[in-house]
């Protein structure tokens, strides 16, 4: 079975979130990043805190994690991120328009600015997140084991193998054992922007969110759509949520909500999408 195209949850209609863009930006996800967690462990001789060694288990693991965090994977405005900024640039004003329209000259400067924000940095590279650290259970005992977990969100173009190679090199300590999480997954393929599916979603977005600029984007979190890559070459990720900057912190947080007016827009979007794609009998 092959599907013509698939639409899953995903990117949003960002209203007043992108600097230099006065119009809302409706981003349709062409791909999503891969998921890679690695569990780290380091074993040394335990001991009493009254006679500590020069380098303790905790110290060695901490130093390795600090080296890893200080050595991010290479990034840049390329791939899906390049498509997104290329589409949005003509709609921007002032210096933002000039900078994004001339990346051949301003690329390094723009990249440096985008790297300062966690959300925009995540579109440029495979990200590194230290998520778990465990060691010791008594204040006067030097633990003989330290454990940690590191989660990477893998940019299309990178692979699980390249991420693990980077991890081993950046840690700089061959004594640290690395075990990959069995549920790790590669980045999704990048879906085309000239398919019937993309054009149908784009048309419905423009009809319902008529004030928005529609652009391709990259889904930095994980969705169920990755399971459909084997069934279709055109898998898209879009949620018709109109959100402002202050709304972003509410997702999975306190006072999570949807505006009544946006609820109506959501219904209109899916209704319009079905109307646009139904085949006459």
Q: Number of structural domains, the chain?
A: 2
Query: SS3 string of the chain?
Result: CCCCCEEEEEEEEECCCCCCCCCCEEEEEEEECEEEEEEEEEECCCEECCCCCCCCHHHHHHHHHHHHHCCCCCECCCHHHHHHHHHHHHHCCHHHHHHHHCHHHHHHHHHHHHCCCHHHHHHHECEEEEEEEEECCCCCEECCEEEEEEEEEECECECHHHHHHHHHHHHCCCCCEEEECCCCECCCCCCCCCCHHHHHHHHHHHHHCCCCEEEEEEECCCCHHHHHCCCCCCEEEEEEEEECHHHHCCCCCCCCCCCHHHHHHHHHHHHHHHHHHCCCC
In this prediction, residues 43-51 reach a mean pLDDT of 96
Domain range for 201 is 6-32+189-277
Average pLDDT, the chain: 94
Per-residue pLDDT tens for 159-189? 999 999 999 999 999 999 999 999 999 999 9
For residues 198 and 149, membership in a common domain is answered with no
For residues 138 and 159, membership in a common domain is answered with yes
Q: What is the CATH number of the domain that holds 234?
A: 3.40.630.10
For residues 152 and 79, membership in a common domain is answered with yes
Final residue before a domain boundary, out of 155, 180, 205: 180
Per-residue pLDDT tens for 67-93? 999 999 999 999 999 999 999 999 998
In this prediction, residues 184-201 reach a mean pLDDT of 96
For residues 211 and 247, membership in a common domain is answered with yes
For residues 58 and 140, membership in a common domain is answered with yes
232 found inside a domain: yes
In this prediction, residues 234-245 reach a mean pLDDT of 94
pLDDT value of residue 58? 98
- Global pTM exceeds 0.75: yes
Model confidence at 281: pLDDT above 60: no
In this prediction, residues 146-153 reach a mean pLDDT of 98
For residues 125 and 165, membership in a common domain is answered with yes
For residues 26 and 57, membership in a common domain is answered with no
Model confidence at 223: pLDDT above 60: yes
Q: What is the CATH number of the domain that holds 123?
A: 3.30.70.360
Model confidence at 191: pLDDT above 90: yes
Lowest mean pLDDT among 81-95, 100-114, 202-216, 237-251: 237-251
1 found inside a domain: no
For residues 13 and 131, membership in a common domain is answered with no
Model confidence at 280: pLDDT above 80: no
């Amino acid at each position: 079975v092959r599907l013509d195209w698939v639409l899953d949850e995903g990117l949003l209609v960002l209203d007043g979130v992108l600097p230099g863009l006065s119009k809302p930006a409706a981003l349709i996800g062409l791909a999503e990043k891969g998921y890679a967690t690695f569990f780290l462990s380091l074993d040394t001789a335990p001991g009493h805190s009254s006679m500590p060694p020069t380098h303790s288990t905790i110290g060695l693991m901490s130093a390795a994690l600090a080296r890893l965090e200080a050595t991010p994977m290479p990034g840049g405005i390329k791939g899906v991120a390049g498509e997104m900024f290329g589409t949005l640039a003509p709609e921007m004003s002032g210096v933002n328009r000039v900078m994004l329209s001339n990346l051949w000259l301003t690329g390094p400067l723009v990249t440096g600015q985008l790297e300062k924000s966690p959300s925009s940095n995540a579109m440029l590279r495979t990200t590194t997140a230290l998520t778990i650290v465990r060691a010791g259970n008594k204040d006067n005992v030097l633990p003989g084991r330290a454990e940690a977990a590191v989660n990477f969100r893998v940019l299309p173009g990178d692979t699980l193998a390249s991420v693990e190679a980077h991890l081993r090199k950046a840690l700089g300590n061959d004594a640290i054992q690395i075990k990959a999480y069995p549920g790790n997954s590669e980045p999704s393929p990048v879906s085309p922007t000239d398919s019937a599916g993309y054009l149908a979603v784009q048309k419905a977005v423009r009809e319902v969110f008529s004030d928005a600029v529609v652009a391709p984007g990259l889904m930095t979190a994980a969705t169920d759509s990755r399971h459909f890559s084997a069934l279709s070459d055109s898998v898209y990720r879009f949620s018709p949520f109109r959100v402002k900057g202050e709304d972003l912190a509410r997702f999975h947080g306190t006072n999570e909500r949807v505006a009544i007016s946006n609820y109506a827009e959501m219904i209109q979007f899916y209704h319009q999408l079905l109307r646009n794609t139904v085949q006459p009998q």
